[in-house]
Structure 1
Amino acid sequence: MGKKKRGQKVCPECGTVNGVRAYYCKECDYAFKMKKRSKNRRGRPVKDWRTLEVGDYIRVIGRSGSYYIKSNGDKIYFTDAGIYHIKQKHGEGLTVIGVGRQSHGFEFLYMGKEKQSKLLDNMFNAPHKLCKVDYIPR
């Protein structure tokens, strides 16, 4: 519990000092009351992907997930950023279908620990960064 400075607010549940624009407490996830809905529809970061359910919509953050390292050191990521619809849950990831403008087709989102691939020395399986979104299909 800290002292409140200008541009900060204190959580009424746990007493933790948070930023003035925070929607949720960083310690206890208490939802602060806001005056109006956020214009940013990017979604809320997912801390544990196992809490996601089949049928949820998620946003995959760019430059995350499995990648290949070229000889000059550049990384090539295999999964496009965008909105995906969860179809199945597996032990190490999610089977999804792309529904946004950037994301297309059927994908497997690896969510396990980062490890080197058994196929190539320069390929690595890394977890994707996800945000849960309220997507309304058109």
Structure 2
Amino acid sequence: MGLGRGKKACDKCGTVTGPRAYICKNCNSPFIFKNKSREDRNTKIIRNINWKELTKGDKIKVAGGPFFVHRGDFIPMGYRGKFLVERVDENGIVAWGLDKNAGFCHIWMNGDIQNKETGVWKTAHKILKLKPKTVEV
């Protein structure tokens, strides 16, 4: 019989505990957790940034952006993922994608407008700046 949802069992004594327990309450043996990737351990996220102040070489994480509404269905049309900034223009950010299937793109950051021909709503993307963590010695 399997464990219920949100439960885990100790490998040494078999005691069932909650999903977020770090140590078994019966035998005090630690649970093994998945290691974070090197990038996750060494990257600091900066949330409130002015996109016009980005410079060539900055790494950003992008979500949101333009969308299309068809019969009540929301269809995202924007970019998402990690990008390397090439330059900034008056309407947005020109960048290279860092993910496997990404290429060269223009990330829209200006105001909300609707294209009359296609019906696509252009809205600003949400961006986070990725900065390497500094290690103090």
Q: TM-score, normalised to structure 1's length?
A: 0.59
Q: What do the CA deviations read for 1:33-64 (whole angstroms, capped 9, x no partner)?
A: xxxxx959472224321111121110002xx1
Q: How does 1:83-122 map to 2 (within 5 A)?
A: 83-101=82-100, 104-121=102-119
* Cα 1:75/1:53, change in 2 over 3 Å: same
Aligned-pair identity in percent equals 24
Aligned residues: 93
> Which runs of at least 4 in structure 1 moved beyond 3 Å after TM superposition?
38-42
Q: CA RMSD in A?
A: 2.3
CA distance in 2, matches of 1:78, 1:112: 15
Letter in 1 for 2:67: Y
Structure (1 or 2) with the larger CA radius of gyration: 2
Counterpart of 1:55 (choices 54, 57, 60) is 57
Q: Return 5+ residue gaps in structure 2 as ranges.
A: 1-39, 133-137
Larger strand fraction of residues = 2
Q: TM-score, normalised to structure 2's length?
A: 0.59
Shift of 1:85: 0.7
Q: Return 5+ residue gaps in structure 1 as ranges.
A: 1-37
Shift of 1:106: 1.5
CA distance in 1, matches of 2:75, 2:56: 28
Question: For residue 31 of structure 1, what is the aligned residue in structure 2?
Answer: none
Shift of 1:100: 2.2
> SS in structure 2 opposite 1:129?
strand
CA distance in 2, matches of 1:116, 1:40: 39
> SS in structure 1 opposite 2:125?
coil
